[in-house]
Amino acid sequence: MNRFDLPDNLPVPIDDGQCTHLKVGMKFPVDILMRLPTTSQRPVDIVSQPRTIIYFYPRTGKPNQKIPDGWDDIPGARGCTPESCGFRDHYQELQSLGANVYGCSTQTTEYQQEVVERLYLPFDLLSDSKLELLNHLHLPYFTLAELDNISLIKRLTIIINHDTIEHVFYPIFPPDKHSQEVIDWLKQNPIK
């Protein structure tokens, strides 16, 4: 098994209702989004393409870094790197469907920059280390004592049309196939 493969016995996350308040037609807090640091240090751009995809993930690890104890037992926690690689591998197709792509976690920009370089991500990662989006949107999260109880956003994806939520994917499983799920949705819901 290579380091990007997911174990076969991962627990499947269930819809716990923590995203039901994120409704289609709800305004997305663009002002907060534009304040978030990006790995390229360029401001977030949600107007150059008709749609913006933001996939939220708990955290990425580094090569040779120990996975936190119990990580694989948390439904939906494992798979941030394979999910990011899926969006990387389908990036051109997503753009051809009119979508910007951003990843977002509560990790620092400095930490995320290593991931962007190592995985050759053609899109920015956003740092919500100050928990601005998490708190404003009441995003679902969990903590882990081994990681100093920092807030880790549960895996979800929001599709935004200019400043309005168009769709929310939650829960997401398996994460390594999620980019194709997003592509399928975009094809079934073309921009009018």
List, for residues 64-121, the tens digit of each pLDDT value: 888 899 999 999 999 999 999 999 999 999 999 999 999 999 999 999 999 999 999 9
Is 1 contained in some domain?
no
CATH code, 80: 3.40.30.10
Is residue 2 assigned to a domain? no
pLDDT classification of 49: cutoffs 50, 70, 90? confident
What single DSSP character describes residue 26? P
Domain presence at residue 149: yes
Q: Would you give the distance in Å from CA 16 to the centre of its chain?
A: 18
> What is the predicted pLDDT for the residue at 2?
44
Beta strands in the chain (DSSP E): 51-56, 99-105, 125-127, 141-142, 152-153, 156-161, 164-169
Q: How many domains does the chain fold into?
A: 1
pLDDT of residue 48: 79
Helix axes 80-89, 178-188, angle to 10 degrees: 40
Q: Is 3 part of a structural domain of the chain?
A: no
Does any domain span residue 36?
Answer: yes
Whether residue 17 is contained in a domain is answered as no
